[in-house]
Structure 1
């Protein structure tokens, strides 16, 4: 059956068919500020028989420029692939997918997903507790173990695609001067001296990060994409999944989401490695530490690109920028990761 291009095209008849239920009435509400920049995310409230009371409906961004960026990186197809092919093979919790469709010609898609009511949504500005950090680190170790050295999922690219390398080189080159101007109090002399060399180092750095062994990485593992229950977590937003080093997710999360206090409370790399190997994976701890250092340096690109694009007139935007960039630079200093550029 054909699918709606956006929430305005939803009908009770189509929802009934998609959900195999009887939808009598529904209403649609866009989700909050900052959600779904490269996609349109809405909450649909339903009335009827055999349907959930609410669900999350995702569509392509209505903004042409945002849609173009998403298409360069195949973000819509990646998320559909995750829910269709990968999620059913995993233990880690993600929203139940009620319905999905994707049109390769138009690159349009629709996802009808479980609304994770009753969970606590993480917040990258607020940070997380040490116990929550442990939940995440151990959960992603299990996720990575289940896809470690996988020979399946051929459509999922390695993270060092030409588009990824070029995008990060251009994004960092344009964004670093802006970030330095916006947040001068966060820029250390060491960062100022060598960070400008990062774009030229990216091809080799990403080649090393994506060399075997790799696993399926979430790709955007930050607190805003984590939902907490008492005894487990759930992850959302799989538009950036890729084949990459297991430390890809670990480093992005640890170097930009927890506070310095939580990040330095324990040896999280060792905890992650122990959980990974306890799941049956053979993996050297020193390789894990080396790749973690490289990933930490690489993800400065993400912090810089985001910080340079934020609306600083928005208080949360400023707080987010300070959190991302500050945490990233302090993590790099702790790991001596700028030494990789000298």
Structure 2
């Protein structure tokens, strides 16, 4: 198959199995030269570009000899990213090649507002996930387009494992939450304050959330969110737009200046899956970053549990997390110091009050806003960030 290298005026003939390594050298060349970046020949610019031939080329690097007859789109989820499930009919199916998979990328204009997010998900599965012991979907392929900085991954269809998935409107039990916190501790321990491996250079404090100014983006949506049902759950103090913006920006300043560990970055329980035995795992790693452990812990707990369960169990669950950190080999903070960080980082849950409905439907935004805003009141979060 011929692939024209843009901007160089000639064509080269490349075997499909060599296209993924070629993409690496193209990216390297782009970084080392002053030329306009070249297109990645194995990057689908749109969702329509995901064809049987493209899928065959993408899978050939992992599964040499792949020949695909047809692909069938069975599910399309349009959120911040576009996620598409395909069933694959093979002419030649190497051992291990999947019968179905998910394609994920930013194939929509709103993806451009995510900065490095989709490229970072590719990098996460390339550079970090092979060394983590936590439960993750298998990644069969990933590519980054230097022209758009978009990323695309081909991921395991977890339904083939019999997995179930977290639903933001269905709270977890305290026992399930404890299992998730164990997984978070194992993830956080990987780069914990110099323990373990050195973070790759692309993994930045605050990640794409900080780089794209997401807090200010969301406050720009305040007027559209205010008439929605979710705002009924805000206290009078939480309706003070300037006060809440200042508090969230103080939180982001802290997140960027204390790069303690590797974070998932979007820890709400709608991003969880559970194996049949109940072992949890996380999806959607586009916001992985360096930062403060409490971003993940509080961001998860204040929305994952019912209000009564959180109130009854959050101190015990935080202690469980700290014990799991110690078991992973790192020096966990003292409980009272950890509690202070947990109470402050509950502030991140306020982002649900402004979340656009093209990212999550109102039912989810309203449910998470109620739980998060109640937790912020219980924990005196805004006052702590003002002090």
Q: TM-score range by the shorter chain?
A: 0.7 to 0.9
Give me the whole-angstrom Cα distance separating, in 1, the residues matched to 2:122 and 2:207.
21
Give me the whole-angstrom Cα distance separating, in 1, the residues matched to 2:288 and 2:243.
27
Q: 1:138: how far off?
A: 1.2
Give me the whole-angstrom Cα distance separating, in 2, the residues matched to 1:197 and 1:299.
15
Give the counterpart of 2:171 among 127, 148, 161: 127
Q: 1:44: how far off?
A: 1.0
Larger Rg: 2
Q: 1:43: how far off?
A: 0.5
Q: 1:170: how far off?
A: 4.6
**What is the TM-score with the length of structure 1 in the denominator?**
0.87
**What is the TM-score with the length of structure 2 in the denominator?**
0.77
1:294 alignment partner in structure 2 = 344
2:370 alignment partner in structure 1 = 326
Change (3 A) 1:187 1:149: same
Q: Secondary structure at the match of 1:249?
A: helix
Which piece of structure 1 moves more, 318-327 or 203-212?
203-212
1:104 alignment partner in structure 2 = 146
Q: Secondary structure at the match of 1:15?
A: helix
Mapped pair 1:16 → 2:56: yes
Mapped pair 1:139 → 2:183: yes
1:152 alignment partner in structure 2 = 199
2:267 alignment partner in structure 1 = 221
Q: Secondary structure at the match of 1:101?
A: strand
Q: Pairwise mapping of residues 70-89 of structure 1 onto structure 2 (< 5 A)?
A: 70-71=114-115, 74-89=116-131
Q: Pairwise mapping of residues 17-96 of structure 1 onto structure 2 (< 5 A)?
A: 17-19=57-59, 20=63, 21-31=66-76, 35-48=77-90, 49-50=93-94, 51-62=97-108, 64=109, 66-71=110-115, 74-96=116-138
Give me the whole-angstrom Cα distance separating, in 2, the residues matched to 1:170 and 1:44.
33
- Alpha carbons 1:214, 1:244 under 8 Å: kept: yes
Q: Secondary structure at the match of 2:143?
A: strand
Give me the whole-angstrom Cα distance separating, in 1, the residues matched to 2:337 and 2:182.
18
Write out the 4+ residue segments of structure 1 that deviate beyond 4 Å after TM superposition: 160-165
Q: What is the aligned-residue RMSD (CA, Å)?
A: 2.5
Give me the whole-angstrom Cα distance separating, in 1, the residues matched to 2:256 and 2:341.
10
- Alpha carbons 2:186, 2:324 under 8 Å: kept: yes
Which piece of structure 1 moves more, 131-140 or 202-211?
202-211
Matched pairs, number: 327
- Alpha carbons 2:295, 2:348 under 8 Å: kept: no
Q: 1:155: how far off?
A: 0.7
- Alpha carbons 2:53, 2:68 under 8 Å: kept: yes
Q: Pairwise mapping of residues 243-254 of structure 1 onto structure 2 (< 5 A)?
A: 243-254=290-301
Q: 1:135: how far off?
A: 1.3
Change (3 A) 1:124 1:170: same
1:273 alignment partner in structure 2 = 322
Q: 1:321: how far off?
A: 2.6
- Alpha carbons 1:255, 1:331 under 8 Å: kept: yes
Give me the whole-angstrom Cα distance separating, in 2, the residues matched to 1:247 and 1:127.
20
- Alpha carbons 1:225, 1:237 under 8 Å: kept: yes
Name stretches of at least 5 consecutive residues in structure 1 with no aligned partner. Answer: none
- Alpha carbons 1:209, 1:295 under 8 Å: kept: no
Q: 1:91: how far off?
A: 0.7
Name stretches of at least 5 consecutive residues in structure 2 with no aligned partner. Answer: 1-18, 20-40
Instruction: Spell out, residue by residue over 1:151-201, the C-alpha distance to the aligned partner (whole angstroms, 9 max, x if none).
Output: 321111111779558431352364178437644532223434x56412234
- Alpha carbons 1:38, 1:61 under 8 Å: kept: no
Instruction: Spell out, residue by residue over 1:290-340, the C-alpha distance to the aligned partner (whole angstroms, 9 max, x if none).
Output: 21111112331x21221xx337xxxx9332232111101111112121222
